[in-house]
Structure 1
Amino acid sequence: MPIHHRIKHTANSSKVQPARINLRSKMFMTLAIIATVPLLLGVITIYIAYINSAEQSARAYSHQIMEQMNIHLNRSIYDYAKLTTVALYDTNVMEILRNHSGPYQSSIYTSAAEKSKMNLFISSLSFEKPEIVGIRILAMDGSIFGSADEKQSDHWLYEEHPWLKRVVAEDGEFVIIPPYEINYYSIRKARVFSVARLLREPYTLRPLAVATIDINSSLIFGNLESVTFSKNSKLLITNHNGDIFYPNKAVDFTLPADLRDNGLIDLQGETYLSVLRESSDETLNIIGLIPVSDLRKNAQVLFEYTLLISVIALLIAYLLAYFGARNLIKPIKHLQFKMKKIQIGLFGERIEIRSKDEIGDLMNGFNSMVTEIERLIKENLEIGLREREAELSALQSQMNPHFLYNTLENINMMALEQSHFEISGVVSSLGKLIRYTVNNKVMFVPLNEELRFLEAYMKICATRIGAGLIWRMHVDPILKTSIIPKLIIQPLVENAVQHGIRQQPGCIDLNIYQEDGTLYIAVSDDGVGMSAEKKLELIQRIGLPANPQQGKKESFGGPIKGNALWNVNQRIKLLYGPQFGLFIDQDSDIGSRFMIQLPVRLEEIE
């Protein structure tokens, strides 16, 4: 192994190299990801959509059932509330209640006739209403009237009826009393809730009694046991204070105070979807609690089946991706093998093209590239030989410049002797141009030397064109000592003469100034100008990385065809970088305007 190869290998081996993943593995992983991600997203989307659909269906079904329950419940409550007012329309009952409307007494006498009339009246109210356990009327003086099966008591006590003050405070509106245990009926002990109302004298509004209807919770709510929204759902009926009317048995959880419709709550470690329906008089609430796990049970089964099918599909997709990547990489591996041969100088290698797809185009491009490289190497060798021959020929045929200067000087003297001062001026300007251009050893010159060269050039142009050519220069005096590339402005001026004002009289302006360390050289004319399409075409030609007219030479003073402008732009970019160069003003309405941008250099030329 050569010494420099060993040194390079040793230096590289000291660095930790990243793991190399071949193209086939990358392609396989890419295809696998392309197959996996959309499939997983689809499975998750289906799962979420199914859950949302199940929740919406459960909400809709629950609201529908609860609406029917609410209508039935409201109708029943209002029927019971109306029963509490029937006593106001019976004269015998009203007469008895007026007799017992005095102050409350711990013991009071009630006649047998009064009891008989009241029992008959109360029994008629509960006829064929098995859910009504009993109806009682509590007179203001402490007397109590009830149905026949009630245990007889002389009077009622406040401590036995803690809800009585609330009924009196409602001032005649009916009140629903939460469920409680009663034992004042002789037949059975029952759990009831009551509808109560304060009865007043219709004309004097004097309180007469409190009528209560005790309703068996099991009978009125018994049919609700068959109502289910899901396997483990719960149905509750409460008031605004949170007292539970249904179910009849005690519950082992507490509802949150901020319970809302279509919300999620946690009870005993389980998440429930709450469905809430309030009665029209805002006295009772119907609450449905549906476990989220019930809603997602079917979705879970669907998800498991879908996931199983997806896994099988992915395995098949991975196998297809593996063999597909293998077949796709095979021609690329062959191309890589041929490229390694080119690296060691075997330019005669070619690839047999067997496909007409992008891989085939790549192989065709490789063959073309190798052919072109082989041609360029041969051409470069030939050009080198020809350049040496041309240099030798130029040295052999080189003419002494002093002979040309002396000849021009003699012509100048002859013109002066004949008083042809204009010819003398042209010859003198031509001599200055030749002296300036012959010296090829100088690449950079002060700006004032370039300006003197331009003045001599414009004198010759004025002689050729006539009085129609106007030449103006506006130069910052500080910049006259700045250093610029030699012969960098003349092509722009020549372009303005040839294309701007050659066909008609006009003016050429040269403006040189600086801003923020950048030297701006602007050459403009008021001639025929260019169309927007022509400007765009010229900008593209000037900005090309390769000479747009390679092989075509432009003689000094000959027509400008874009080659000189391309040379100017390339010289500047090679010398100063891509941020500088030649630019065309696309906004100029009259004539054309070209701008050179260079860095300001005020140092002396070495």
Structure 2
Amino acid sequence: MDSSKIKQLVRSIFKLNIRQKLILTYVLIVALPLTILQVNAFYRVRIMTEKEYISNINFEVNKLKNDIVKNVEQFIKATQFVLNNQEFIEFVSTYQERSVDEIFSFKVNVLDKIEYLQYVNFNINRIRFFTNNNFIPEMWPTLYQIDRLKSFKFIDKFLSDTKQTSLWKLNNTDMLGPPLNSEEKVVSLYTKVTDLVGNLIGIIEVNMKVDEFFASELSRESDNSVTIVISDEGDVIFSKQTPAFLKRLNISSEKLVEILEKKSTAQVDEGIVHLKINKNSAAFVYTHIPVLGIKLYKLILFDELAQKINGVTLQMLGQVLILIIASSILIFILITLILKKLRQVILSMRAVENGNFDVSIDIKGDDEIDELAQHFLNMVEKLKILIGEMVRREVAQKDAQIKALQSQINAHFIYNVLENIKMMAEYSENYDVSDAITKLGKMMRYNMSWKRKFVTLKEEIENIQNYISLMNIRYDKEIKLLVNVDNEILNIEIPKLILQPIVENAINYGIEPKGEGGSIFIDGSIIGNYIVISIIDDGLGIEKEKLVAIQMALENDIETECYHGQGIALKNVNERIKLAYGKEFGIKIDSKFGEFTKVTITLPYNRF
């Protein structure tokens, strides 16, 4: 989405009325996130369920592997029992005719022990010995002639391989099991028995029914899983449910075996693999049993599980949707009731905008809309008062303008009179009076002319010098003025008449009460980004309690009784500086009673 479309969408949202905006806010902040969270929660539940399901299958496969390993141990123990029976090995390895008594004794004392071992180990189906000794008759179901095995090709291969001493045969056909020729499927372990020089004495066979060897896993009925055993030689054993499972997947057994072998990593003995088989979500767990040279595969389908989870998800989403719709209707009703009051306020505002100040709003509650309505009515009343005051001020301003014109006429008259008096004093050679009148005239022109609100610091100091000169006529030149100001700031403009009130305070409340004259020192310099001007007098000073009150009043900009006298000048100057430059600027005062008073003015300095 480009920026123009985003701007257009934002403009469309801003054009909505407040009801539509509130409903949109509810949808975006509550309804939509709640739906997303719910869908995400169900998705997570599904993933967790699948993981748990796979975890259970993995546990079953590992348990099956452990059961198979235990069965293998039984095979090996049974084989070792026969190999370690010296009487048995000695009897079958002696190639000579045997009497009936010897055969009977062998049957009772030796062979019956092997048969007993078979009956004690319930899982073992048969323990047989195929002898190469033609002098020994067959003694069923344990002792047979080796010729019975020669019809099996895998036996010929086994016998021809001198290095191979044992052979596992999965899904073997037990042709000798009762009833005869039943062709029962078993797992067999064949072990060669040889004498000291390597001549074949016979073959031991220990077998177990396939279903019992695989702990009934192959006969278990399940709609969503199937167990497959694949040997390293390529032999495959399918579970009972495999045909129905293959039909459901619409795939042949050969293709399924190919997929399983391709997906399972040859270098890893066990693992879990997720896959798709003809659009069916599936996974399989596999593990390798090296002693048998086989891999166990348990394949599971998620379709039925996913259908159940989706059914629950849709049901819960439906409930959430109903809840959202119900809450949306309730919120719409509440918003309508709230905005009804706001509508009354808006109509009243429009009436005031058109000049009708006689409005009223029925206020019944204490909520925010009612509070807004009450403040609006209070504002209308204040507007009435302010409009009346503005009318009175306009009248007063007209009067002030007339008086200002009159004052201007009076000021010109005074200047002319002073000029005449000055000329008379000079004519009488009274030059002190002439100078005094000149300075008085300059002061009056400076103080009474307000065409400019800002003057240079140099002009302000010249006005103070004139003021001190006039005051010295009264005090017989007892007041000394010392000025030390950086030339760089003499032409800096400052608010007019911010120094004279402080100097006047220094004379009236510092030097005059002391009764012995005094000095006023004005210092001006640049400190960082500030202009700092200090006015110091050696007058009477300020009492500590009064000084603290003045300092607090100046810092906090509050009224105090101190302003009814000495503090009034400081208050006016401080307020004018703050209005001109900001609250961080202004004046500070420090004093020691009986010694001095120091007033410091801080102004901004712009170097550029």
> What interval of TM-score do these two structures reach, taking the shorter chain for normalisation?
0.5 to 0.7
- Map 1:286-305 → 2, pairs under 5 A: 288-305=298-315
Q: Equivalent residue for 1:510?
A: 524
Q: Counterparts of 2:504 and 2:209 in 1: how far apart (Å)?
A: 112
Matching residue of 1:84: 79
**Matched letter for residue 161 of structure 1:** K
Q: Does 1:187 align with 2:178?
A: no
Superposition map of 1:353-364 within 5 A: 353-364=363-374
> Is 1:567 matched up with 2:576?
yes
TM score, norm. by length of structure 1: 0.64
Q: 1:112 to 1:201 in 2, by over 3 A?
A: closer
Q: How does 1:333-412 map to 2 (within 5 A)?
A: 333-397=343-407, 398-399=410-411, 400=413, 402=415
The SS at the match of 1:148 is strand
594 and 176 in structure 1: CA distance in 2 versus 1, 3 angstrom threshold? farther
Q: 2:148 aligns to what?
A: 152
Q: Does 1:124 align with 2:115?
A: yes
Matched pairs, number:
529
Q: Are 1:54 and 2:54 counterparts?
A: no
Which deviates more from structure 2 when the two are superposed, residues 301-310 or residues 449-458?
A: 449-458
**Which amino acid counterpart does residue 257 of structure 1 have in structure 2?**
S
Number of the residue aligned with 1:257? 264
Deviation per CA, 1:173-218: give whole Å up to 9, x if none: xx7846355588683556554445677889x999998755444424
Shift, 1:224, TM fit = 1.7
C-alpha distance after superposition, 1:28-81 (max 9, x if no partner): 333445552364256336524643563465356546655654443332111112
The alignment partner of 2:148 has SS state of coil
Q: For structure 1, which segment, 321-330 or 558-567, has the greater mean C-alpha deviation from structure 2 after superposition?
A: 558-567
Give the aligned residue type for 1:81: I
The amino acid across from 2:325 in the alignment is: L
Deviation per CA, 1:270-301, whole angstroms, max 9, x where unpaired?
33355567779897766544433344443322
Map of 1:487 onto structure 2: 496
Q: Which is greater in Rg?
A: 2
For residues 129 and 600 of structure 2, the distance between their equivalents in structure 1, rounded to whole angstroms, comes to: 111
- Identity within the alignment, %: 14
Q: Pick which of 343-352 and 234-243 moved more.
A: 234-243
CA shift at 1:380, angstroms? Answer: 1.1
CA 1:538–1:92 in structure 2 vs 1: closer, same or farther (change >3 Å)? farther
Separation in 2, partners of 1:92, 1:531: 127
1:224 to 207, 217, 221: 217
Mark the runs of 5 or more structure 1 residues left unpaired by the alignment. Answer: 1-15, 100-109, 140-144, 542-547, 574-580, 602-606
Q: Take 1:369 and 1:242, find their aligned partners in 2: how far apart are those partners?
A: 95
Tell me which moved more, 369-378 or 61-70.
61-70
* CA spacing shift, 1:158–1:46, aligned 2, 3 Å: closer
Q: Is the partner of 2:603 in helix, strand or coil?
A: strand
User: SS state of the match for residue 217, structure 2?
Assistant: helix
Separation in 1, partners of 2:392, 2:330: 53
Farther off after superposition, 154-163 or 306-315: 154-163
2:336 alignment partner, one of 326, 331, 343: 326
- Match of residue 36, structure 1, among 31, 43, 54: 31
Kindly report the root-mean-square deviation, in angstroms, between the aligned alpha carbons of the 2 structures.
Answer: 6.1
1:307 and 2:341 correspond? no
In the superposition, the TM-score normalised over structure 2's length comes to 0.64
Give the number of the structure whose residues are more often helix, by fraction: 2
Pair 1:25-2:35 in alignment? no
Separation in 2 of the partners of 1:197 and 1:323?
87
CA distance in 1, matches of 2:547, 2:292: 82
Q: Mind listing any 5+ residue stretches in structure 2 that lack a counterpart?
A: 1-9, 133-137, 243-252, 537-541, 591-597
Summarize the Cα distance change of 1:592–1:491 in structure 2 as closer, same or farther, 3 Å threshold.
Answer: same
Aligned amino acid, residue 578 of structure 2? N
| 3-state secondary structure, aligned to 1:596 | strand
**1:359: how far off?**
0.8
Would you say the 8 A contact 1:138–1:210 is kept in 2?
Answer: yes
Q: CA deviation at 1:341?
A: 1.6
